[in-house]
Amino acid sequence: MTAETQPALDPEALRADFPILDQEVHGHKLVYLDSGATSQKPLAVLEAMDGYYRHDNANVHRGIYALSERATADYEGSRAKVARLIGVADPREIIWTRNATEAINLVAYTWGRRHIGRGDVIVLTEMEHHANLVPWQILAQEKDADLEFIPITDDGILRQDVFDVLLRLKPKLVAFTHVSNMLGTINPVVEMTRKAHEAGALVLIDGAQAVPHIPVNVAEIGADFYTFSGHKVMAPTGSGVLWGRRALLEAMPPFMGGGDMIREVHLRRSEWNEIPWKFEAGTPDISAAIGLGAAADYMMGLGMSRVQDHEQELVRYALDVLPREVPGIEIYGPAAPEARGGVVAFNLPGIHPHDVAQVLDRFGVAIRAGHHCTMPLHERLDLSATARASFGVYTTTKDIDALAAALQQVQKLFG
C-alpha cells in the first residue's frame, strides 16, 4: 500500500497505545500539548524496555553468555532500525548519544577542535535552539573563530538572500535546524545543504523537531551530520543519535575515553575501536537504545508521511480555530500550515505566558511557556516569552478545541 492510498491516521484509536493519556488532571481529561518538549511513549516502547530488564539484563559486547548475547543483539538491532527510519544505509554511521545536545557537542569537541581555527567562519541561524548555538559559541571563543547568523523574516522564514551573502565568507561549517522548535518553520534543508557544500562548508542539521514529525532521509538531504533526540520520537529520555558520514567519523578523535571505545590499551598509549563504538565509551543506556529501536519500529509502522499529514491538518485547524475562538491571540511563525511542523507558539496580550500555562493546567491542558531554549529568537521578535502548543500522533482536533475553550477562561480570569 502506497502512502497515497493509506488511510489517514486515527489519533483516537492510537491513544489506546499511550497509557499515560488515560488520566484526569484537576478533574479534567488530560490534554497533552507539549510533545515538542517530550513525546509520550507507546506500549511498544515501554514493553521493549521492560522486556530487557526482566529477561535480558546484561552488559552488551562483553559477555559470551546468553543474556549478554541477546542484549547485544537487541542493542545493535536498534541501531539498524534507527538507520532505516532516517534513510541511512550503514548502521555503523549511527552513534548513540544521550540526546541531540550531546550529539552536537560531540561534533563541536571532536571535528570542531581539529578543523576550526582562528578567523574561521561558522554560519548559524537566528532560530537555533540553544543546543545548536552554545557549543559553537564555546568553540568560537576557544579558537578565536567567527559566528555569523542567517536572519529571519518577521513571519519566521530564513533569509536565503542573506545566506547567499554569508556563504561568500567561505565558512568551514553551516549548522541549522531542520524544523524550528518555537516557530515550527520547516527549513529548505536540501537546498541549503547544496549551497553550503558548493561554498566548501560542511553541514550539521539539528533534526530534533523533524524526525518525530516529517519524513527524513539523510541520503536525500546530503548533509554531513544529522542529530536528534530519542525522547521526542516516543523513545525514552537519555537516548539520542548522531549520524555522520563514515569518512568524517573515522577521521574524528574520540569524544570520551574509557571502556568499549578502545581496541587495545597499554600504559602509555591506546588504539581506538571502530565506529560507532569509538564514540560510545563506557556502559551505555542499553534499555534506552532498545526503546529507541522500538519507537523507530512504531513510527515506521505508522508511516511518516501520514504523521506529517496528520500534524499539518492539526496546524491548519489550530490556525483557523484559535484566532476565531480566542479574540486578540497573537500567533507566531509561518502563516501557511504546510510550511510548519506541529507547533503553534502564541501569546495573549497583557497576560504572561507562565500565567496562561498555569491556568490552562487547572483545566487539564498541558502546554509549554517560556523561551523554549531560543532566547535569541525571542529577542529578535521582541518577545520575553511565548506559550507553545505542540502536537503528536495522539493529538486530536478535540484537544485543540479544549485549548481554545481553556484560553477563553484565561481571558475571562484576567479581564
Single out the residue in 273, 301, 329 at which a domain terminates: 301
In a domain? residue 39: no
pTM of the complete model: 0.96
d(CA 35, CA 366): 10
Single out the residue in 257, 279, 301 at which a domain terminates: 301
pLDDT of 53 > 80? The answer is yes
d(CA 230, CA 245): 20
- Average per-residue pLDDT for the chain: 96
Does 330 share its domain with 354? Answer: yes
Does 68 share its domain with 122? Answer: yes
In a domain? residue 67: yes
In a domain? residue 290: yes
Does 88 share its domain with 122? Answer: yes
Single out the residue in 259, 283, 301 at which a domain terminates: 301
Among residues 162, 199, 373, 375, the one annotated as catalytic is 373
pLDDT in tens, 3-40: 456 799 999 999 999 999 999 999 999 999 999 999 99
Section 241-264 average pLDDT: 95
Question: What integer pLDDT is reported at residue 129 of this predicted model?
Answer: 98
CATH of the domain at 400: 3.90.1150.10
Report the 10 Å Cβ neighbour count for 150: 24
Does 265 share its domain with 369? Answer: no
Does 391 share its domain with 252? Answer: no
Q: What is the CA angle 158-164-169, rounded to 5? A: 120
The alpha carbon of residue 201 and the mean position of all alpha carbons in its chain are separated, in whole angstroms, by: 23
Section 366-371 average pLDDT: 97
Section 351-362 average pLDDT: 98
In the chain, how many domains are there?
2
In a domain? residue 5: no
d(CA 330, CA 185): 17
| Side-chain half-sphere CA neighbours of 211 within 13 A | 32
Does 64 share its domain with 166? Answer: yes
CATH of the domain at 151: 3.40.640.10
User: Do residues 345 and 388 make contact, with C-beta atoms less than 8 angstroms apart?
Assistant: yes
Q: 113: closest CA among 13, 254, 222, 233? A: 254
Does 208 share its domain with 98? Answer: yes
In a domain? residue 118: yes
Does 285 share its domain with 157? Answer: yes
Q: Which domain holds residue 331?
A: 11-32+304-413
Does 310 share its domain with 180? Answer: no
In a domain? residue 277: yes
Does 207 share its domain with 78? Answer: yes
Does 96 share its domain with 217? Answer: yes
**Separation in Å, CA 36 to CA 18, 113, 186, 233, 342:** 16, 31, 14, 10, 8
Q: Is 299 considered catalytic here?
A: no
In a domain? residue 207: yes
Does 333 share its domain with 287? Answer: no
Residue with cell 550539521: 204
